[in-house]
Amino acid sequence: MPDSRKPIGVGIVGLSATGGWAAGAHLPALSAVDGIELRALAASSEASAQAAGAAYGVPAYTSVEQLAVDEDVDLVVVAVKVPRHRELVLPVLKAGVPVLSEWPLAVDLREAEEMARAAGTTRTFVGLQGRSSPTFRWLADLVSDGFVGEVLSATVVASSTEWGTPVSPNMVYTLDRELGATMLTIPFGHTIDLVSMVVGELRDVVATTATRRSQVPLGRTGQVVPMTAEDQIAISGTLAGGAVLSVHHRGGAASGAGFSLIIDGTGGRLEISGAEFPHIGPVTVRGTRGGGRPAELTLPSGYDDYPALTGTVVHTLAHAYAAIRDDLVRGTAVAPDFTDAVERHRLLDAIVRSAATGRRQAVDPRAE
């Protein structure tokens, strides 16, 4: 366990001097949270390592093995493309160093289970940062405390502009369903994780998916590239308490990204909506108890430790890093880990199986 008297030292794989998600989100999130800080990085080449090391003023390595044995690194963050997660995470686990991997954890359920087994007693974390959202933690408490009474149903309609609109060359890999970074795993995966956090886990699922666009424009080149990833995902199923959950996620939406969740219960109703991905963007909450039109509800105090970051992609990630810091220092288990990631991959696998067979699938066949 790290020394609580000094900050947690973080080493990031994928922090580039030229920008990207690690530079634009992870770095400012770390800067916002006391007790945790960047100490080192690893890049794919000597040139990129030197450039990033000079840009951020920390030691730079060309392998994750070197990063993991740096005595100043207490946590390795893997912030690269999904197909490389396994090859980078396993050496860190072998070294016994705690690791945070971006979501999706792996390209499929089998690989996720392998990584979870390899962790042993080493602390792991996964980038399902939406669970740290102040608003969704509050929503989970509202439902748990009986705001809507017994949950009867939950209905989600979501959309993404990606997976149908022009794609940049560096994002073409997200169009290949075999590479594990698709609409199903990324925006749908994050969304269903948040919904599950609020209303509970699905026991079974019936799914219909489609790839309505088999080709997508490659930027403004006039060329097109093939797409095998799903751009339409519709599911329904039952929650542990018997409530019905339905979700329709659309890709390549001309109207832009959006999110809507309606929770109906025996005693009330909650309506949550947002113009972006709910795990990183702000949402509006409306609700009513005992009848009447839903009115906007305000987040109470005690949930948001970083209000100055509200409305930015850094907001939930800062809360996630704070939870990881506390878990490492205090030995708690608040931040989602590889076991949670496997559970979410298991749901995605059930959706794929149901869509392929046309049959209802148990989310966890072992429980049958």
> Alpha-carbon distance 72 to 69, whole Å?
9
Asked whether the beta carbons of 147 and 357 are under 8 A apart, the reply is no
Going residue by residue through the chain (368 aa), what tens digit of pLDDT does each one get?
A: 566 678 999 999 999 999 999 999 999 999 999 999 999 999 999 999 999 999 999 999 999 999 999 999 999 999 999 999 999 999 999 999 999 999 999 999 999 999 999 999 999 999 999 999 999 999 999 999 999 999 999 999 999 999 999 999 999 999 999 999 999 999 999 999 999 999 999 999 999 999 999 999 999 999 999 999 999 999 999 999 999 999 999 999 998 899 999 999 999 999 999 988 999 999 999 999 988 899 999 999 999 999 999 999 999 999 999 999 999 999 999 999 999 999 999 999 999 999 999 999 999 877 65
Instruction: Sketch the domain layout of the chain as residue ranges.
Output: 8-130, 131-298+342-357
pTM for this model (two decimals): 0.96
Encode pLDDT of 17-32 as tens digits. 999 999 999 999 999 9
pLDDT at position 290 is 86
For CA atoms 355, 184, 11, 320, give the dihedral sign: negative
Q: What is the DSSP string of 146-168?
A: TTTSSEEEEEEEEE-STTTS-B-
Tokens standing for residue 263: 């929770």
Domain 8-130: what homologous superfamily?
NAD(P)-binding Rossmann-like Domain (3.40.50.720)
The predicted structure's pLDDT at residue 4: 62
Phi, psi angles (nearest 5°) of residue 313: -70, -10
Residue closest to 177 by CA, chosen among 66, 291, 82 = 82
The pLDDT assigned to 276 comes to 83
CATH number of 131-298+342-357: 3.30.360.10
Query: Would you state the pLDDT for residue 288?
Result: 98
Q: How many residues does the chain have?
A: 368
The upper half-sphere exposure of residue 203, i.e. CA atoms within 13 Å in the direction of its Cβ, equals 9
